[in-house]
Amino acid sequence: MKVNVVFLGVLMFFTLHFANASTTDSKILSFDQENPEELVGKWMMDGDDETYIELNSDGTATEKSIGEPMKRFWSVKNDKLCLKASEKQNGAEMCIEFMLNQDVLVLTMDNMKLPYTRYRGH
């Protein structure tokens, strides 16, 4: 039960941080550095098949936590995974500490570790 409450708190943080997001934005944003190839793919939150982050090789991302999937941009800056909303969505950027161990991606927010596993399905 404690994990579910903490998880919902994290989802609310993501949702509020990227308020008023839309999935139909086509504006492209480029980053100063190349995105690490080993992070590219779909990452499913452990214990919740409805929550995922999909990181594409072109620097775009889809983040799904509460509600509809939201389009983002991603990069790695100062050893942190950064998710950025488009300018149309307010341009807010959030950078999160992460650790990658083969097919397990652990995001750390406020000392809370959120494990994601690489999706290998269809």
pLDDT digits (tens, 9 = 90+) for 67-106: 899 999 999 999 999 999 987 778 899 999 999 999 999 9
Integer Cα distance of 75 and 16 in angstroms: 20
> Residue 11's CB: how many other CB atoms inside 10 A?
17
pLDDT attached to residue 11: 43
Would you say 66 and 12 are in contact if contact means Cβ atoms under 8 Å apart? yes
CATH number at residue 62: 2.40.128.370
Asked if the model's pLDDT at residue 22 lies above 60, the reply is no
**The overall pTM is greater than 0.75:** no
Q: How many domains does the chain have?
A: 1
What backbone torsions phi and psi does residue 99 show, to the nearest 5 degrees? -135, 130
The residue segments making up the domain with residue 88 are: 2-118
